[in-house]
Amino acid sequence: MRDYVVFTNKRVIAVNVQGVTGKKKDFTSLPYAKVQAFSVETAGHLDLDSELDLWFSGLGMVRFEFTGGSDIVQIGKLIGMYIL
């Protein structure tokens, strides 16, 4: 639950917090220019998490999971605007 994702106007930055203290972090930069397709799955009644799948050329699929309170539809609209 310490990991997070940052959406900029040019790329997605995934931050993976590692270790017990959380001092070590892994940053992954994924440019929108390499996105070939994406998929959004909203939260439901039993499944409270929403998901965003991005397919990158040369990398494959990357999945991000969000809590039920996240506006995944708005995130999907923004990604669609940046990759098209």
Residue type, 53: D
Instruction: Please give the model's pTM, rounded to 2 decimal places.
Output: 0.82
Supply angle C-alpha 39, 2, 24, rounded to 5: 115
Average pLDDT of the chain is 89
Question: What would the pLDDT profile of 34-57 be if each residue is shown by its tens digit?
Answer: 999 999 998 877 767 899 999 999
What CATH number is given for 4-83 in this structure?
Answer: 2.30.29
Helix (H, G, I), strand (E, B) or coil at 22: coil
Has residue 11 got a pLDDT over 90? yes
CA distance 42 to 71: 9
User: Stretch 20-42: mean pLDDT, rounded?
Assistant: 92
Domain regions of the chain by residue span = 4-83
Q: According to the model, what pLDDT value does residue 2 have?
A: 78
